[in-house]
Amino acid sequence: MTDSTENTEITSLATPSGDTAVEVTGTGTRAAIISDATTRHAAVPVQTRNARFTSTEVADFPAVTGREGNWKLTPVDRIRELLDGALDGTAYPVVAEPSPGVDVRWVDRTDARIGLGGIPEDRASANAWSGFGAALAITLSGEEHTELTVARSEFGSAPRAAHTIVEAKPFSDSLVVLDNSGPALLVENVEILVGDGAKLTLVTVQDFDGDARYLANHFARVGRDATFKHVVVSLGGSVVRVNPSATLAEPGADGELLGVYFADAGQHLEQQVFLFHQAANTRGRVNYKGALQGQGARSVWIGDVLIGPDASATDSYEQNRNLVLTDGTRADSIPNLEIETGDILGAGHASATGRFDDEQLFYLQSRGIPEAEARRLVVRGFLLDVIQRIGSADLEARLGAAIEAELAGGPR
């Protein structure tokens, strides 16, 4: 409400701890009055996307009800064990072929790199941070291009916490695949440190068993003149939520956040993406594409791009595209763009959700291709547009075959 006599605007807010607050905005002043006198937060700032409350302690976050802005589109009842329960944070089996310039090992919580990539913004992430005992550290130091696949298929069916560090040393050149499969009831934090002048492509593949539930938060910090490509591929699992966050922290940093997903009946596949242009002369691209088929198939994509006050000469664009193949599906797509400087090269965002393009189908059918095959070709081309940007021929072929299997409705 607005009181014209006092020239004051009063707006309800939510505090990081979930308490009710009132923001009072007057001439040149801004303050917050907290209704709960026991809260630790004495004032609530007006928040941009990078100013969310963060903590590594799960107790600092209120219980998740499903009404919170970052949880309201998530089936929280299906992941309750990962939000509130005790988690197994011990090491688990991994398979990684030795390679020059690559070091894969377990480290404890005292490793100096832990916390450099980012800090949890939600209760699930903080629960994983509070619960992990050993972190899987992948260190990349070779200046010659190196490819590494880390296969992880033995998480088990008990609630588990995991923490992973991926460090690309300055001027290194690497492609890393986190290949996730098998059973899982897992919440994980992945910290990614891209050194100055480094080139890193990190691909995370979610091809879990049909009843698996997986929550992951990725925190990336990209250094000066470094190039970072992050690819999320979500195919298998009951509930899969992967939230990548990348900070272009130094001048000349380049970040490309890509994703592809295929939701079948009853699946919930979610991505909440954040790209923060912190430094000047940075370039960012966000491109996620998904397909949905079957009763109850659900996808959620929320894209946030923030161009900070010091990020002059920024070039940024984000988009999400969803292809609906059958009735009974739902795709939520929410792009957001914040700009805090007027000196940019360009910025934009886009979102679209729809069915097949009848003209494309007609064109293919007019050349003798049966309708079912024409539909398959359209979907395959739609999704492979992202997959072909990974840069690994073997992985691209494997994922292409997986999409073919999804379209056919058979096992992958």
pLDDT tens, position by position, 210-223: 999 999 999 999 99
Higher pLDDT, 23 or 66: 66
Does residue 196 have a pLDDT over 70?
yes
Res 376: pLDDT = 82
CA–CA separation, 39 and 21 (whole Å): 11
| Weakest mean pLDDT among 25-29, 227-231, 286-290, 319-323 | 25-29
Res 17: pLDDT = 38
Rounded to the nearest integer, the mean pLDDT of the chain is 88
CA–CA separation, 311 and 320 (whole Å): 24
CA–CA separation, 192 and 201 (whole Å): 11
pLDDT tens, position by position, 222-253: 999 999 999 999 999 999 999 999 999 999 99
Higher pLDDT, 250 or 381: 250
Higher pLDDT, 355 or 103: 103
CA–CA separation, 104 and 94 (whole Å): 10
φ/ψ of 388, rounded to 5, equals: -70, -5
Name residue, tokens 């940007």: 389
Task: Give the other-Cβ count within 10 Å of 105's Cβ.
Answer: 11
The helix/strand/coil state of 74 is coil
Reported as type and span, the H/E element at residue 109 is none
pLDDT tens, position by position, 63-104: 999 999 999 999 999 999 999 989 999 999 999 998 899 999
CA–CA separation, 192 and 164 (whole Å): 8
How much of the chain, in percent, has pLDDT values that exceed 70?
A: 88
Q: Which of 390, 388, 383 is nearest to 200 (CA)?
A: 390
pLDDT tens, position by position, 128-175: 999 999 999 999 999 999 999 999 999 999 999 999 999 999 999 999
CA–CA separation, 383 and 400 (whole Å): 9
Domain regions of the chain by residue span: 1-46, 55-355
Task: Give the other-Cβ count within 10 Å of 257's Cβ.
Answer: 26
